[in-house]
Amino acid sequence: MTGADASDGDFLGALAAGTRLQRYELISVLGHGQFGITYLARDTELGREVAIKEYLPIALALRRGGTTVSPRSSAMKADFVWGRERFLEEARILATFGHVPAVVDVYDFMEANGTAYMVMSLVGGETLEERLKRDGTLPASIIEPMFARLLDGLEGVHKAGFLHRDIKPANIVLDSRDNPTLI
């Protein structure tokens, strides 16, 4: 998983570097959006870097007391809880996929701090958005195999009953051989 080069200070409400989530230690913020924050973390048991996505929908919840996530109001509690359960269900299913082409691997998931977390592989490379800004249009010889791989991955996701709902160039990471991963 990769993201905008954001530091912890770029997003109010992010957990501090050094925060522990079970066996994972947060290092920094990779990115954030409407539904959560993604962190760079270290798996202290396996000694590898991972990405951890935190369910923190800014329209429904906020962080209180440094770590705890709570619904913004009692009227929003049911929607927040429903979304957290969907987030965990998605993590459970994605964790069973193994190495579905072009879909980020999910290693683990957990509930903590009143919310939920998904532990994923750390995908290196640049986003398709960054590549397009730098190079402009891409030739068909790159686009065709890229999208064939993405569609194969999405077919697996759809067969499991999920829709991605946020497919865009910023959520597609390209490795050094232009292999895409949907994050």
In whole angstroms, give the CA distance from residue 29 to residue 39.
Answer: 4
In whole angstroms, give the CA distance from residue 113 to residue 105.
Answer: 24
Active-site residue identified among 5, 152, 166, 175: 166
152 is catalytic: no
CB neighbours of 181 closer than 8 A, spacing ≥ 6?
A: 102, 103, 104, 123, 125, 172, 173, 175
Quote the strand ranges of the chain, DSSP E: 20-21, 24-32, 36-43, 48-55, 61-64, 68-71, 106-112, 115-121, 126-127, 172-174, 180-182
In whole angstroms, give the CA distance from residue 43 to residue 152.
Answer: 30
- Using DSSP's 3-state secondary structure scheme, residue 162 falls into coil
Instruction: List the catalytic residues.
Output: 166
